[in-house]
Amino acid sequence: MKKCLPSIVSAALCLSFVMTPFVPVAAAYADEGSPAESSEIYVRDNYDEKYDISLFERGRCTDSYSKAWCDSHGFANNRTVPHKVKLNAKEEACLRDPYLAGTAEVIAGLVTTGPGGDLFATAMTSYRLFTCMF
Amino acid sequence: MLSQTQSRYLTTIGFALLALLFASDLLLKPPKELVSLAIACISALYFTATLFVGLKERKKGAVVASAVGVVTAIASFFI
């Protein structure tokens, strides 16, 4: 039995490595559900037909793909697709501030008052970003 | 970098101001623009203080960095 154990462990490890790439695919298929389930449309209570997307509803399938593609790939309910999405004007404006002013302030804080000043500037920049976004 | 005592003093005041603003933001719920303005003011105030301390201690690096900080804090209104 002792001689077999390493072989069993190796086989199990090999199998897990080989099967790993297929797990997300299997999960995606499992998520699709039966046709009866997929006919149910999941939308938030504040869903707006005028396509006014809130920050938390970004990345729905039809934002990036055609309706036909979404229907044929298990996104008939227009749920969100995990991929990079384009920022809107407000988000870009909010991010520009930390990129430019925030970075400069963090460096200035570090140079003037050391790690404490660096931490203070980082907290200030984060708070500013939070206020701008939400 | 400024002396350790001065740095600690300034950082404590800065954090206290930021905490005060955060508390008043949670309790009083002022308009967002006002909060952003207050953050920029705290930033400008902090770097102005470091600028003066840097001038007093005659530390060129700290003075330049503070000047950059002040300019950035003011510019962040307009970015």
Determine the Cα–Cα distance for residues B50 and A65; give it in Å rounded to an integer. 52
Which of A38-42, A62-66, B41-45, B75-79 is modeled with the greatest confidence?
A: B41-45
Across A28-37, A103-112, B18-27, B56-65, least confident range:
A28-37
What DSSP string runs through chain A?
A: -TTHHHHHHHHHHHHHHHHTTHHHHHHHHHHH--HHHHTS----TT--TT----GGGTTBHHHHS-HHHHHHTT-TT--B-SS-----HHHHHHHHHIIIIIHHHHHHHHHHHHHHHHHHHHHHHHHHHHHHH-
- Provide the ipTM: 0.91
Q: Which pLDDT tens digit goes with each residue over A75-105? A: 888 888 777 767 778 888 888 888 888 899 9
Whole-angstrom Cα Rg for chain B: 14
CA A2 to chain centre: 46
Q: Which two tokens stand for residue A49?
A: 């037909």
User: pLDDT-based confidence at B47, cuts 50/70/90?
Assistant: very high
CB atoms within 10 A of CB A96: 14
Which residues of A are less than 8 Å from B75 in CB distance? 100-101
Q: Which pLDDT tens digit goes with each residue over A98-132? A: 888 889 999 999 999 989 999 999 999 999 989 88
Determine the Cα–Cα distance for residues B14 and B38; give it in Å rounded to an integer. 12
Give me the residue label for tokens 């950059």: B68
pLDDT on residue A109: 92
Q: Determine, for residues A105 and B73 on separate chains, whether the beta-carbon distance falls below 8 Å.
A: yes
Whether residue B66 lies within 8 A of chain A, CB to CB, comes out as yes
pTM: 0.64
Which residues of B are less than 8 Å from A97 in CB distance? 76, 79
Of the candidates A96, A114, A128, the beta carbon closest to that of B1 is on A114
